[in-house]
Structure 1
Amino acid sequence: MTLSLFDQFLSPSLLGIPLMAIAILTPWTMFPAPTTRWVNNRVLTLQAWFINFFTQQLFLPITRHGHKWALLLISLLLYLITMNLLGLLPYTFTPTTQLALNLGLATPLWLATVVMGMRNQPTHALGHLLPEGTPNALIPILVIIETISLLIRPLALGVRLTANLTAGHLLIQLISTAVFVLLSSMPTIAALTSTVLVLLTVLEVAVAMIQAYVFILLLSLYLQENV
């Protein structure tokens, strides 16, 4: 029986154990804990440089009141990057290809930024729903449009991450299947197709990191609007 290409995105299980849980928990075990020593090994030094660099990039335009989100967002960034990269290994599962997981990450954080903005500066937060200088006749329409735009943000975050990773995995599977089929009949074409597959894999490594960064960057922009 021919399986669907989307069967690779079903949550697998082994001996009744959902592998989804293992794939979600594995990234947390791959980062070494920082120490109090002045001189650390290369892994800890590189990790600290990475965290400091992206923290400065993300929180430079955000006021001091929003800097308390730094630990949460940087931890989520490292978690998403690791989970996306692990999903590119053979015989692995990528949890971030599941829309439910991505919405579960995006919705609470987006809602927290909205609630914080409504609590700390309600006038400024509500002001985003109506641009300055809007004609009176367009006020009801623009308020409805801006409200829908605000409510659709977590869905856009989740769908963007899911769609980019799913499309890349599908392309890798399609091209690898083509290489396997052409290997016996047209080995030259199969070798050229293998080159495309290698380049696509390198591209997917970049996409896995970029999409995790874009996810956190958009959350930081939502935070910037509400602090």
Structure 2
Amino acid sequence: MNLNFFDQFMTPSLLGIPLILISMLFPTLLFPTPDNRWITNRLSTLQLWFIQLLTKQLMIPLDKKGHKWALILTSLMILLLTINLLGLLPYTFTPTTQLSMNLALAFPLWLATLLTGLRNQPSISLAHLLPEGTPTLLIPALILIETTSLLIRPLALGVRLTANLTAGHLLIQLISTATIVLLSITPTVSLLTTTILLLLTLLEVAVAMIQAYVFVLLLSLYLQENI
């Protein structure tokens, strides 16, 4: 019975072919596509307003040199946001609950920010590994600690996103299972668990949006350190 709770995190497949790529690209089909009219409809206008607001918010920590990353960061934010939110619907799959996918998103982008810093300002980027005024005896230990904290950043990004979404999905399934079981035994307690389930669902919607924003915001902060 306990193993059934984790079936929702298994990658769907058809004839042995994983369908994770389809589940990643499917949310983009729900976006309104611009037409050839001079005046766009209300839905497209709302979408453009939201993307512009999101881009401005992501560009706040960056200076002008980092604005060239706006398209990448905004696209990543929209991708994570739509996948996280649509994964809360019944009979759906959330690709961001897979650590392999989150690491595949986090590691190349983190490495790109690191290589950007090493190419443009190598001395300043390497200076982050050793704080100013460090005693001579502590220099090897601090360099080792700072290097470890630098290399663990993509792992922290992937694990944070995976753990938050996985925990929320498990809690929702556990409480919903308890609600169904208690419905025939004690309807009053079942009504209470239903209320808790609705509140938890609202919380999980907020977590899905916040975690997508935090993922991209941390990448923008890493980029700011290297430009």
In the other structure, the counterpart of 2:206 is 206
Cα drift, residue 138 of structure 1:
0.8
Alpha-carbon deviations, 1:87-110, whole Å to 9, x = none? 101011100000000000000000
Matches within 5 A, 1:106-117: 106-117=106-117
Which amino acid counterpart does residue 96 of structure 1 have in structure 2? T
Provide the rounded CA distance (Å) in 2 between the counterparts of 1:113 and 1:12.
Answer: 33
Match of 2:3, SS state, is coil
Which amino acid counterpart does residue 23 of structure 2 have in structure 1? A
In the other structure, the counterpart of 2:78 is 78
Provide the rounded CA distance (Å) in 2 between the counterparts of 1:210 and 1:152.
Answer: 21
Provide the rounded CA distance (Å) in 2 between the counterparts of 1:58 and 1:51.
Answer: 10
Match of 1:117, SS state, is helix
Cα drift, residue 39 of structure 1:
3.0
Q: Any gaps of 5 or more consecutive residues in structure 1?
A: none
Which amino acid counterpart does residue 173 of structure 1 have in structure 2? Q
| Aligned residue pairs, count | 227
Deviates more, 1:151-160 or 1:186-195: 186-195
Provide the rounded CA distance (Å) in 2 between the counterparts of 1:109 and 1:116.
Answer: 10
Cα drift, residue 70 of structure 1:
0.2
Pairing 1:145–2:162 present: no
In the other structure, the counterpart of 2:33 is 33
Alpha-carbon deviations, 1:8-45, whole Å to 9, x = none? 21112234443322211112222233457553222222
Provide the rounded CA distance (Å) in 2 between the counterparts of 1:163 and 1:18.
Answer: 22
Pairing 1:183–2:207 present: no
CA spacing shift, 1:78–1:39, aligned 2, 3 Å: same
- TM-score after normalising by structure 1: 0.95
Q: Any gaps of 5 or more consecutive residues in structure 2?
A: none
Deviates more, 1:195-204 or 1:50-59: 50-59
Cα drift, residue 63 of structure 1:
1.8
CA spacing shift, 1:2–1:175, aligned 2, 3 Å: closer
Runs of 4+ in structure 1 displaced over 6 angstroms?
none
In the other structure, the counterpart of 1:163 is 163
Provide the rounded CA distance (Å) in 2 between the counterparts of 1:33 and 1:151.
Answer: 40
In the other structure, the counterpart of 1:123 is 123
Deviates more, 1:197-206 or 1:34-43: 34-43
Provide the rounded CA distance (Å) in 2 between the counterparts of 1:122 and 1:146.
Answer: 16
Alpha-carbon deviations, 1:132-181, whole Å to 9, x = none? 11111111111100000000000000000000000000000000000110
In the other structure, the counterpart of 1:93 is 93
CA spacing shift, 1:2–1:128, aligned 2, 3 Å: closer
Provide the rounded CA distance (Å) in 2 between the counterparts of 1:201 and 1:15.
Answer: 33
Alpha-carbon deviations, 1:179-207, whole Å to 9, x = none? 11001111111111111101111111111
Match of 1:180, SS state, is helix
Cα RMSD between the aligned structures? 1.5
Cα contact 2:61–2:220 (8 A) shared by 1: no
In the other structure, the counterpart of 2:68 is 68
Cα contact 2:103–2:154 (8 A) shared by 1: yes
Provide the rounded CA distance (Å) in 1 between the counterparts of 2:67 and 2:35.
Answer: 23
Match of 1:3, SS state, is helix
Which amino acid counterpart does residue 198 of structure 1 have in structure 2? L
Cα contact 2:125–2:225 (8 A) shared by 1: yes
How many percent of aligned residue pairs carry the same amino acid?
A: 70
- TM-score after normalising by structure 2: 0.95
In the other structure, the counterpart of 1:52 is 52
Provide the rounded CA distance (Å) in 2 between the counterparts of 1:19 and 1:92.
Answer: 12
Provide the rounded CA distance (Å) in 1 between the counterparts of 2:216 and 2:159.
Answer: 14
Cα contact 2:63–2:224 (8 A) shared by 1: yes
Provide the rounded CA distance (Å) in 2 between the counterparts of 1:222 and 1:17.
Answer: 36
